[in-house]
Amino acid sequence: MSDILASILQQKQVEVAQLNSAELRKLAFASPPPQADFYASIRRANHLTPVRLIAELKRASPSKGLLAPHADLITIGSQYQANGASAISVLTDEKFFKGSLETLAGLRSAGISIPLLRKDFIIDDTQLYQTRLYGASAVLLIVAAQPEGQLKALHATALELGLTPLVEVHDEGELEVALSISGLRALGVNNRNLRTFEVNLQTTLRLLPAIPKDVASVAESGIFGVADVVQLAQAGIDAILVGEGIITSADIPAKVRELSTVAGQP
């Protein structure tokens, strides 16, 4: 199978080259800092409390095609908040995921108060300036998307902007890189291989024991029902990030309530 991640990153280089970095930096630092605490929102109090739900707004994906092309994402975001989501992940990539930065701004204008995570393929500081400017509290940084030095520089810039970086890994080598980042507070394990888009929930279960207890742990991708969440809850995960399993549901509010109330066992 072709390397999907490489294609996406090539497109990101084109997009970033068209942005005015100096202007966006000035606007970002002049804008209000994030008010919602992403880390606190996704941190599970203890093993018996419910796993935190990061509910994702996602119109499409390269692997599944169109999921919810005409959905009113602002209304759905309000449903997420009203029914127990701890944070909202917003896909902002346009070409491959049919997303938009405007969704972030729209959610804030609609009065969403829980943290917003910008989920995209971040390769440059300019994208971090956008992230703060459009109202997100957190930003996804993918270890597989850039060299280690660049990743650490992006992480530092995100912290400078008041953003919480969620650093994403999907194997042991990437986890080692993530754990070497100064100030790491949130780590996501993607059960989807970004090069092949194959999914295996065991990826999280395999890597979770190596994540320090003071780092918030997030399982991403391949989570659809209570059985999946129970397994992750009992393993000690702090939060789950669910997109397709919610956005394609016939009853989105009920699905959010279902996934946001699963706790581990004594």
Closest CA to 27 of 159, 140, 126: 126
The catalytic residue among 89, 100, 152, 168 is 168
The catalytic residue among 12, 41, 56, 83 is 56
Is 46 assigned a catalytic role? Answer: no
Please state whether 217 falls in left (phi above 0), alpha (psi between -120 and 50) or beta: beta
The catalytic residue among 12, 83, 119, 255 is 119
Distance CA 94, CA 77 (A): 18
CB-CB contact of 126 with 97 (8 Å):
no
The catalytic residue among 174, 220, 244, 258 is 220
Query: What CA–CA distances, in Å, run from 245 to 68, 157, 178, 218, 229?
Result: 12, 32, 27, 16, 12
Amino acid in the structure at residue 88? I
3-state helix, strand, coil in the chain (%, to 5): 40, 20, 40
Is 94 assigned a catalytic role? Answer: no
Is 31 assigned a catalytic role? Answer: no
The catalytic residue among 83, 86, 100, 190 is 190
Is 172 assigned a catalytic role? Answer: no
CB-CB contact of 254 with 65 (8 Å):
no
Pairing of strands 65-66, 60-61: antiparallel
Beta bridge partners of 54: 87, 241
The catalytic residue among 12, 58, 152, 255 is 58
The catalytic residue among 100, 221, 258, 260 is 221
Is 119 assigned a catalytic role? Answer: yes
Is 190 assigned a catalytic role? Answer: yes
Catalytic residues: 56, 58, 119, 168, 190, 220-221
